[in-house]
């Protein structure tokens, strides 16, 4: 198992998709080394960074859903709703790839720096 900075790993995986020529130090034979990403893991800040998301300090800080945090203080928190008597909770909508992609394009097109920062903070993207 190799632990490496995930951003660097992605660059290497894309760059060396066809493999790179290496030499086996024991047999001194050359071979083609190919890298394939099999698993992806990390803590919340690391995953947010590698996914280009704002993380848990955004209003919509969850990478899976559209839950909205409360930012009335300096920090954002996500209050748990009290389940009604029917025991049904309205869960937030899940994020979709297309929605996230479209929002990223929209944010990228914003020229005003403060407006862009606000949109990033609000959307979590
Ligand atoms: Zn969520």
Q: Helices marked H in 1-125 — which ranges?
A: 6-15, 44-50, 97-109, 113-123
Shortest CA distance to 93 belongs to which of 66, 71, 116, 117?
66
Predicted confidence at residue 98, as pLDDT, reads 94
Half-sphere exposure (Cβ direction) of 71: Cα atoms closer than 13 Å: 12
Ligand 1 centroid from CA 60, angstroms: 9
- The answer to whether the beta carbons of residues 92 and 59 sit under 8 Å apart is no
Ligand 1 centroid from CA 91, angstroms: 9
Ligand 1 centroid from CA 8, angstroms: 27
For the chain, give every domain's residue range: 1-39, 42-81+91-125
Predicted confidence at residue 13, as pLDDT, reads 60
Ligand 1 centroid from CA 40, angstroms: 19
Ligand 1 centroid from CA 44, angstroms: 12
Give 48's pLDDT tier (boundaries 50, 70, 90).
Answer: confident
Residue 10 tokens read as: 């992605």
């Amino acid at each position: 198992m190799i632990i490496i900075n995930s951003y660097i790993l992605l660059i290497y995986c894309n760059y060396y998709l066809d493999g790179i020529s290496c030499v086996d130090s024991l047999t001194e034979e050359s071979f083609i080394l190919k890298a394939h990403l099999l698993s992806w893991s990390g803590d919340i800040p690391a995953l947010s960074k590698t996914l280009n998301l704002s993380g848990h300090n955004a209003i919509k800080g969850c990478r899976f859903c559209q839950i909205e945090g409360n930012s009335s203080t300096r920090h954002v928190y996500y209050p748990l709703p009290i389940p009604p008597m029917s025991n049904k909770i309205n869960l937030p909508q899940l994020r979709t790839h297309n929605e996230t992609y479209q929002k990223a394009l929209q944010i990228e097109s914003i020229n005003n720096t403060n407006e862009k920062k606000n949109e990033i903070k609000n959307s979590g993207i």
